[in-house]
Every structure is written in structure tokens, then in C-alpha cells.
Amino acid sequence: MTRIAVLGAGKIGEALLAGLLAAGRSPGDLVFTERHPERSAELTARLGVAGVDVAAAAAHAEIVVIAVKPQDVVPVLAELAGVVRPGTLVVSLCAGVPLAVVEGALPAGTAAVRVMPNTPMLVGEAMSALSGGAHSSEEQLAAVEEMLRAVGRVVRVPESQQDAVTALSGSGPAYFFFLVEAMIDAGILLGLPRAVAADLIVQSAFGAALMLRESDDHPVILREAVTSPAGTTIAAIRELEKHGVRAALIAAIEAARDRSVELGRAAAGR
């Protein structure tokens, strides 16, 4: 099987390793890098995957996954550039970082793919979007899709859409957490114990998400099915519209898109 190295073993890097192992990958086909020795030793003990330096990772792998914060990607690329082998595929999970930055830092002709995952990768339910670079082949894109399916779902998009993806699904879980937090507070305000309010809302969110994924109906249809004439739900919807919740969400996602663009420019030194 394809050997994979994950540069950066934070939450996303660890989740990818754990997902690949759960999907049947051998620990011997995987390595990772981690700058904190204690963290590296703990992961090796728990996952059975070796922690190595960047040079050893590049020598081991056919796919090198960069899973560091955007502000840390330039030094990692500089280190990788001196040791990456011809034919290696480099996959960037760094939010906002354009493929031009990755390809420009690596030896000419190096194949690269840009991916925007999200934190539900931690429970095997990520939504990831990938974009191929100038030198990535169809076979390599398919290999990245196979890798990402071990931790959730995956779609292909043009790189020009990646900043929008970052704003919508990359940051998306935080919007749902924010909404659930507010709804739990509302339950407490209405006199429910916090634990009961949390259980009611989390299960409602889980069930609603399943309905959205498994139904062919538009969200409007699903929402209207709950909204009886002169009932409680329409009264709540009226208040949400009155307070501009829909417009606020759209503006928030636009702001996240703009920040993704800024991060890309900073990584490119512009």
C-alpha cells in the first residue's frame, strides 16, 4: 500500500493517522513528524506509528501530508524541499495556503494537492475538498481521495473555490457549535437543567443532520415540515428573521472567506 508521512501531529494530523489505521492501513506504512518529543512518544505508544524527522519522513513516503498551521507552512516547506524525492506527492492541509506557494517552495515538477478538511475528521466524519496542482495526475488525485475517505467524505473543487470551501465547511463546525451553545443557553433560560437542554439539542442536531444527508428534500422543505400554521416554530422563525440571523450567517462566512484569502497572501509573502 502507499506509504504516507504526516508532517505535524496536531489534532488533524493525529485524526488522519487514526482514521487510516482504522481503515486497515499498517502502522509500518505510516510515519509522522512532531516537534514536541513528549507528544511524539505518546502518539507512538498509542498508535504504533513511528515519529521521525522530516528527512526520514520524506525518505519513507510516497505521499507527504503537511498538516501544520498556515503560519508554520513556509519553514516546513523549506525543510522538505531539500529532502523530498522525485515522484513524491505533497498534500497540503493548510488553510488558505495556495498551491503556488507549495509548488514554488519545492523542486520543479513536484506534484502537489491542496485539501481543506474540517475537525469532524476526529470522529471519522470530515468533509474534505481537494484541488489538484499543476503536476498532479489523475492517479495521484484518486490516491488522495482514497486516503481522505478513511476519515469522511471528499469532493473535488477548482482551487479558485478553496477559500469559499474554507469559510463554509472548514470553519463550518464552529458555526454549528455556536448555534448549539446558544440554544442550550435558551433552554436554561426557559428553566431546563443544562444537562437536559444539552441532550435535547445535541440529539436534535444529530437527527436533523441525518435527515439533511439522507433526504433528497431541500432544507426549506424539511424546515417547512416542522413549521405548522400559527404554531410555535413559525413564531421562532419570525424572530430569527427579524434579528437578521440569515444575513448575519452570510456575512460571517464572507468574512471567513476574506480571512482565508489574507492567510494565503501572507504565506505567499504578499
Exposed e or buried b per residue across 165-200, where buried means at least 16 C-beta atoms within 10 angstroms of its C-beta? bbbbbbbbbeeeeeeeeebbeebeeeebeeeebbee
Q: What is the pLDDT of residue 266?
A: 85
Annotated binding site: 67-70
Length of the chain: 270
Give the whole-angstrom CA distance, residue 34 versus residue 244. 44
**Nearest-5° angle of CA 104, CA 110, CA 113?**
85
Element (H, E) at 128: strand 126-132
| Domain boundaries along the sequence of the chain | 4-159, 171-262
Asked if 60 and 31 touch (Cβ cutoff 8 Å), the reply is yes
Which residues line the annotated binding site for NADP(+)? 67-70
Note the CATH number of domain 171-262.
Answer: 1.10.3730.10
4-159 and 171-262 agree in CATH topology: no
| DSSP codes of every residue in 54-122 | HHHHHHH-SEEEE-S-GGGHHHHHHHHHTTPPTT-EEEE--TT--HHHHHHHS-TT-EEEEEE--GGGG
Instruction: Per-residue pLDDT tens, the chain, 270 aa: give them.
Output: 689 999 999 999 999 999 999 999 999 999 999 999 999 999 999 999 999 999 999 998 999 999 999 889 999 999 999 999 999 999 999 989 999 999 999 999 999 999 999 999 999 999 999 999 999 999 999 999 999 999 999 999 999 999 999 999 999 999 999 999 999 999 999 999 999 999 999 999 999 999 999 999 999 999 999 999 999 999 999 999 999 999 999 999 999 999 999 988 888 776
The model's pLDDT over 128-137, given as tens digits with 9 standing for 90+, comes to: 999 999 999 9
Give tens-digit pLDDT for 71-119. 899 999 999 999 999 999 999 999 899 999 999 999 999 999 999 999 9
- The domain defined by 4-159 folds into Rossmann fold (3.40.50)
> What pLDDT is recorded for position 1?
61
Whole-angstrom distance, CA of residue 79 vs CA of residue 102: 12
